[in-house]
């Protein structure tokens, strides 16, 4: 089976240059750190485009496929522009994501708005900008969206998000009749929702069903089960209500390679499984081939991203660990402290030196749990060395915070030996720009 970009631990352009430094996108990472400062998010455009092309090629045999990038993994105007230019639409989960892709020039009919508690203002923005689909999550939203659409004299195309009873946990999954989840309609609730759409909510036009089964998926059989459930439900609904629903959205969730031990499936492998199962299921349940939506996020952006840090202090615990600290941590990468995510790293200015020690990479934030990497073998570290952490494109910047009142990091796009700032580093003035001291407090100073 053909390999794909999501199976690479490092950006595809990674190499050691003549100076002995790590190079990505034709740019010396040590020079990037010197020019733009650290922590620094780096996105390799070649790798990003490569994985988009993997998806396009892998699913090319099914002519009714629509690929949507799950913006929550990383949403910026520049990355949205690159992904859009490769033919992708977008799955957005907030007004901010909708507005970002809109400002980047994405055709709004290629945007789907998803989420379990969309506000009225966010739904109005989606209606005003003309997003192509809204995935409705619950009964409250059905009523609210109908009311808002009528106030705009619009009819809106929707999908119903359902809970299919499949829960995925990386290497294993469980299937139950009623999965406990905050998202979507239970399968026992879909008929009530459809009756409301047909008989009460005249501004809503139901096009199909939407489901999502997890994230960082390595076990491929879950896609078989999900498609079987969705196609069977579409057939049942069409027969019972005399409808012709012809769209299914199976979500995303394909895993990536964070460490050498990770073995995610290739895009080509899951494409073959999904397309074959879909074609067999439509024959089994006697429906026409539906439009197929997919929402990859992590597997699109993660491998293209690295984060550069500068080493500072260190501490050797007597008869214990050696901690070495960098100038970032849980505020620029919350994943290790939130759910013990693991990463791989090298010292960018000596990537080929012999690894002589096992260390723990600590962050600079005032939390004992601010640990970026619990255990990594590295060469001897000196103050000022540059650490490069791989596969940080997804859910690093998008989950970043100003914890400890620290400025958010900059992001650069590299390609063909050129680097461009795509997100500016925050300044101290940015940090206080939304703060207000009431006049009654100023008067007492």
Query: What's the predicted TM-score (pTM) here?
Result: 0.95
Q: Given pLDDT bands bounded at 50, 70 and 90, which one contains residue 444?
A: low
**pLDDT tens digit sequence for 349-372:** 999 999 889 999 999 999 999 999
**What's the topology of domain 45-301?**
TIM Barrel (3.20.20)
**pLDDT tens digit sequence for 47-105:** 999 999 999 999 999 999 999 999 999 999 999 999 999 999 999 999 999 999 999 99
Active-site residue flag, 27: no
Give the rounded distance of the alpha carbon of 346 from its chain centre: 24
Tell me how far apart the alpha carbons of residues 430 and 422 are, in angstroms, rounded to a whole number: 17
Tell me how far apart the alpha carbons of residues 264 and 11 are, in angstroms, rounded to a whole number: 16
Alpha carbon separation from 25 to 29, 226, 278, 304, 417 (Å, rounded): 9, 38, 38, 10, 6
The whole-number pLDDT of residue 175 equals 35
Tell me how far apart the alpha carbons of residues 51 and 264 are, in angstroms, rounded to a whole number: 14
**pLDDT tens digit sequence for 143-183:** 999 999 999 999 999 999 998 876 655 433 333 323 556 77
- Which residue of the set 75, 355, 366, 388 is catalytic? 366
The whole-number pLDDT of residue 180 equals 56
Question: Do the strands 185-186 and 291-294 form a parallel or antiparallel pair, or are they unpaired?
Answer: unpaired
Per domain, the residue ranges of the chain are 45-301
């Amino acid at each position: 089976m053909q390999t794909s970009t999501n199976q690479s631990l490092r950006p595809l352009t990674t190499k050691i240059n003549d100076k002995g430094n790590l190079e990505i996108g034709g740019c010396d990472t040590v020079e990037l750190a010197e020019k733009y400062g650290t922590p620094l998010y780096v996105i390799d455009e070649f790798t990003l485009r490569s994985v988009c092309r993997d998806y396009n090629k892998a699913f090319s045999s099914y002519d009714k496929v629509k690929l949507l990038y799950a913006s929550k993994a990383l949403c910026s105007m520049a990355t949205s522009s690159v992904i859009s230019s490769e033919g992708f639409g977008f799955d957005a989960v907030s007004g901010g994501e909708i507005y970002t892709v809109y400002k980047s020039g994405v055709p709004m009919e290629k945007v789907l708005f998803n989420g379990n508690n969309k506000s009225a203002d966010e739904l109005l923005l989606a209606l005003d900008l003309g997003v192509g689909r809204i995935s409705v999550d619950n009964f409250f939203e059905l009523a609210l969206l109908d009311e808002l659409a009528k106030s705009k004299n619009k009819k809106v195309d929707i999908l119903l998000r359902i809970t299919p009873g499949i829960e995925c946990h990386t290497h294993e999954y469980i299937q139950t009749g009623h999965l406990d989840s905050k998202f979507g309609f239970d399968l026992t609730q879909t008929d009530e929702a459809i009756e409301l759409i047909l008989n009460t909510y005249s501004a809503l036009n139901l096009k199909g069903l939407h489901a999502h089964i997890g994230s960082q998926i390595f076990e491929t059989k879950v896609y078989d089960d999900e498609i079987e459930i969705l196609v069977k439900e579409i057939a049942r609904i069409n027969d019972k209500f005399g409808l012709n629903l012809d769209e299914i959205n199976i979500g995303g969730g394909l895993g990536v390679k964070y460490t050498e031990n990770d073995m995610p499936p290739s895009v080509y492998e899951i494409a073959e499984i999904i397309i074959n199962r879909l074609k067999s299921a439509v024959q089994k349940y006697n429906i026409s081939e539906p439009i197929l939506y997919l929402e990859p996020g992590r597997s699109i952006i993660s491998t293209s991203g690295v984060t550069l840090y500068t080493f500072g202090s260190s501490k050797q615990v007597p008869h214990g660990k050696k901690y070495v600290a960098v100038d970032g941590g849980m505020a620029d990468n919350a994943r290790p402290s939130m759910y013990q995510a693991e990463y791989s790293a090298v010292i960018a200015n000596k990537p080929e030196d012999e690894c002589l020690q096992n260390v723990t990479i600590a962050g600079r934030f005032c939390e004992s749990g601010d640990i970026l990497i619990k255990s990594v073998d590295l060469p001897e570290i000196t103050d000022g060395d540059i650490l490069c952490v791989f596969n940080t494109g997804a859910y690093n910047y998008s989950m970043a915070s100003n914890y400890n009142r620290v400025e958010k990091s900059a992001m650069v796009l590299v390609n063909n030996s050129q680097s461009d700032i795509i997100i500016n580093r925050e300044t101290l003035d940015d940090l206080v720009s939304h703060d207000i001291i009431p006049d009654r407090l100023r008067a007492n100073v």
